[in-house]
Amino acid sequence: MEKTPSPARRRLLISLAAVIVVVGAVLALNLASSDDVSPTAAPPSTAVLHGGGSAVASVYACAVSSTDADKICERQAKDHARRTQLTPQQRAEIADKSVEVRSLIPPLPSREPTCPTPGGPCRMNTGPVDAEYVAKAWSAVFRAGYEDAVIRLARADDPAPAETMVYGISVGPGCVIGYVSTSGGSSNVAGVLPEGGCLTP
């Protein structure tokens, strides 16, 4: 005649069974997630976050997808962290004038389009971004009354891609900074540098 397990033994057996079920489920989930190589799954994005500022906390975020973009993001973040922090009112004041300031930057000259196939679509080309274009841009900005401005070809330590024209134009308590390249450009409202000015000459 079989012995009936005591209540204490039954509780122990039930607890052990529950633990085995939970562990098995966790292992199954881990294996399923590690084996998921679906080509339709989007790759994880990379975000670089940098904190800066003194009295006011500031975070600069930049999504990157290549090594070159990562380096540009790092330079932009370091530049951002060095600058004075603008109040919301100051930022709004500069932003109102930034449209006018950006409109002063002349478009790049057009070049002969590239047509890969005869009779097919062509790609418009612009440029180059050279000393002549920089001089033209500086003249337009200076004549408009923005005399405290640095406009030049980008250097390796600038917050801009290589082979671009970078600019820092003083507007009120801060700056409009940005760059122009043959593929477009970018601009932003920012504070001044610790040594004063909007861009190192």
Question: How does pLDDT run across 100-136, given as a tens digit for each residue?
Answer: 999 999 999 887 777 878 877 887 778 899 999 999 9
Structural domain for 158, as ranges:
86-201
Percent of the chain with pLDDT over 90: 51
Considering its fold, how many domains does the chain have in total? 2
What is the predicted pLDDT for the residue at 44?
A: 29
Assess if residue 102 is contained within a domain.
yes
Q: Are residues 156 and 192 in the same domain?
A: yes
**Alpha helices, DSSP H, located in 35-127:** 67-82, 88-104
23 CB neighbour count, 10 Å cutoff:
10
Token look-up 């079920």 returns 21
pLDDT at 60: 62
Question: Which tokens hold the place of 124?
Answer: 């418009």
List pLDDT tens digits, range 143-177. Answer: 999 999 999 999 999 999 999 999 999 999 999 99
Confidence at residue 53, expressed as pLDDT on a 0 to 100 scale? 33
pLDDT for 31: 37
Task: Using the 3D structure, point to which of 82, 109, 135 is the last residue of a domain.
Answer: 82
User: What does each C-alpha distance from 74 to 131, 149, 188 come to in angstroms?
Assistant: 26, 24, 16
Q: Of 26, 54, 82, at which residue does a domain stop? A: 82
Which pLDDT belongs to residue 54? 32
pLDDT at 73: 87
Under a CB-based contact definition with an 8 Å cutoff, are residues 76 and 62 in contact?
yes
- Residue carrying the six token digits 């890969």: 116
Residue 7 lies in a domain: no
Nearest residue to 50 (alpha-carbon basis) of 77, 69, 73: 77
Summarize pLDDT for 13-49 with one digit per residue, the tens.
555 454 444 444 434 434 333 333 333 332 223 233 3
- The verdict on 104 and 172 lying in the same domain is yes
Question: How sure is the predictor about 95, in pLDDT bands with cuts at 50, 70 and 90?
Answer: very high
Which residue, among 147, 128, 129, 127, has the nearest Cα to 138 in the 3D structure? 147
Instruction: Please check whether residues 172 and 75 belong to one and the same domain.
Output: no
pLDDT number for residue 110? 82
Average pLDDT over residues 54-82: 70
pLDDT range class, residue 2, cuts 50, 70, 90: very low
* 112 and 60 housed in the same domain: no
57: CB partners within 8 A, 6+ apart: 51
